[in-house]
């Protein structure tokens, strides 16, 4: 069924300017076939129950969200396949106002793609890959306990040591100050290619640029990264040279920035 018109008071035009259009070689414009109503089939227009009052709301398959006529609650299209919009930097232009469900999905997909990019960058350096993966795992636990932004925390965790190869090449050293000097530019390039927002890029690069040197009044996100990195480093040190439980407890008491980080460190290390 192909509609002739829509009730624009109840729907968001998710495409803006009548949809995202692409120029072909001849200069003509066309809509994405998946969103062009001439290609729609049965089921492209359907009914869904409002999650708040259970009234019936009609959806077109390319609606991002609709408002319930009975109670006024606006909710996301339950059948929408967001696909590339979950990570594409032009998603807002394509979909208009993105619903919270999609924003959360974008963050999840971004951190997964950052993890893949980190592994590709380090190639066969499995030591650095393993370290970054462990830091991300601990940072996620701390971030959840501390109510941090997991998208920022995990992207920073995967990329916190991304400058280490360049530090070795340029300075023949893996010193923290060289990683912090050279890491942000590499992290920025990776995140920009993946379509991350400018706000996320700025925060992650700032964290990468001083991840060994906390400032006063650090953010929850930074504390999660710093404490997770410290746990992983203490793990490595303990494997190379045994550390007494008393000394570890003193280090944890003195060095960790968050209560959750200290608690998780004790559970893992003691």
DSSP-H helix ranges across 194-258: 198-208, 220-240, 245-255
Give the pLDDT confidence of 115-163 residue by residue, as tens digits.
999 999 999 999 999 999 999 999 999 999 999 999 999 999 999 999 9
CA distance 159 to 144: 19
C-alpha dihedral, 171 to 173 to 178 to 182, nearest 10°: 60
pLDDT tier, 109 (very low <50, low <70, confident <90, very high otherwise): confident
Q: Coil, strand or helix: which one is 14?
A: coil
Residue 253, token pair as written in the block: 């008491």
CA distance 49 to 75: 10
pLDDT at residue number 157:
98
Would the pLDDT of 75 be above 80? yes
pLDDT at residue number 15:
38
Would the pLDDT of 248 be above 50? yes
Domain boundaries, the chain: 21-81, 100-269
| Rg (alpha carbons) of the chain, rounded to whole number | 24
pTM of the model: 0.66
The mean per-residue pLDDT over the stretch 228-238 comes to 95
pLDDT at residue number 27:
45
Residue 30 burial (C-beta neighbours within 10 Å; 0-12, 13-18, 19+): exposed
Would the pLDDT of 112 be above 70? yes
Strand partners, 65: 76
Fold classification of 100-269 is: Hypothetical protein af1432 (1.10.3210)
Give the pLDDT confidence of 181-217 residue by residue, as tens digits.
999 999 999 999 988 889 999 999 999 999 999 999 9
Give the pLDDT confidence of 26-43 residue by residue, as tens digits.
444 445 555 556 656 677
The mean per-residue pLDDT over the stretch 241-256 comes to 93
pLDDT at residue number 83:
54
């Amino acid at each position: 069924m192909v509609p002739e018109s829509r009730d624009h008071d109840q729907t968001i035009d998710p495409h803006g300017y009548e949809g995202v259009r692409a120029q072909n070689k001849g200069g003509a414009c066309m809509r994405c076939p998946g969103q062009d109503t001439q290609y729609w089939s049965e089921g492209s227009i359907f009914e869904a129950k409002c999650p708040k009052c259970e009234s019936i709301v009609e959806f077109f398959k390319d609606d991002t969200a609709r408002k319930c006529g009975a109670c006024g609650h606006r909710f996301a299209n339950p059948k929408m396949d967001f696909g590339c919009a979950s990570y594409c930097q032009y998603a807002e232009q394509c979909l208009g106002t993105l619903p919270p469900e999609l924003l959360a999905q974008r963050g999840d997909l971004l951190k997964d793609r950052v993890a893949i990019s980190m592994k590709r960058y380090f190639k066969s350096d499995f030591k650095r890959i393993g370290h970054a993966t462990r830091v991300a795992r601990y940072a996620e636990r701390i971030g959840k306990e501390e109510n941090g932004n997991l998208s920022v925390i995990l992207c920073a965790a995967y990329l916190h040591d991304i400058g280490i190869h360049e530090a070795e090449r340029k300075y023949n050293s893996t010193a923290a100050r060289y990683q912090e000097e050279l890491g942000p530019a590499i992290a920025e390039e990776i995140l920009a290619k993946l379509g991350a927002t400018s706000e996320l890029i700025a925060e992650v690069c700032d964290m990468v640029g001083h991840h060994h040197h906390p400032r006063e009044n650090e953010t929850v996100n930074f504390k999660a990264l710093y404490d997770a990195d410290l746990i992983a480093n203490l793990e490595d040190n303990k494997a190379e040279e045994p550390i007494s439980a008393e000394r570890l407890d003193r280090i944890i008491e003195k060095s960790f920035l968050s209560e959750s980080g200290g608690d998780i460190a004790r559970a893992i290390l003691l």
